């Protein structure tokens, strides 16, 4: 995520999170916590998406192997 977008999203997220949790923070703390939260959230979500991609690849490989073995048993034997 580009730095400017990260800052904008972080500021908005910090503001919303402080309002949702009813915490009164000063503006620099709200911005800092929001940007840090956006950075952590980005890293965590990218990791989860990567793991999901690896899992989906494994499931696809398994289904492909099952299909080929079934076809081999059905038509070659």
C-alpha pair distances (Å), 24 with each of 15, 17, 29, 39: 10, 11, 10, 22
pLDDT tens-digit series, residues 32-51: 998 898 889 888 988 899 88
C-alpha–C-alpha distance, residues 44 and 14, integer Å: 17
- The whole-model pTM stands at 0.65
- pLDDT score recorded for residue 3: 80
C-alpha–C-alpha distance, residues 77 and 23, integer Å: 70
pLDDT tens-digit series, residues 8-36: 888 898 889 889 989 888 989 888 998 89
């Amino acid at each position: 995520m580009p730095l400017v977008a990260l800052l904008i999203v972080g500021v908005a997220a910090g503001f919303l999170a402080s309002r949702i949790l009813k915490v009164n923070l000063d503006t620099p703390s709200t911005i800092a916590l929001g940007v840090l939260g956006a950075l952590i959230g980005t890293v965590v979500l990218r990791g989860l998406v990567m793991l999901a991609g690896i899992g989906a690849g494994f499931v696809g490989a398994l289904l492909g192997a099952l299909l080929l073995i079934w076809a081999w048993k059905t038509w070659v034997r």
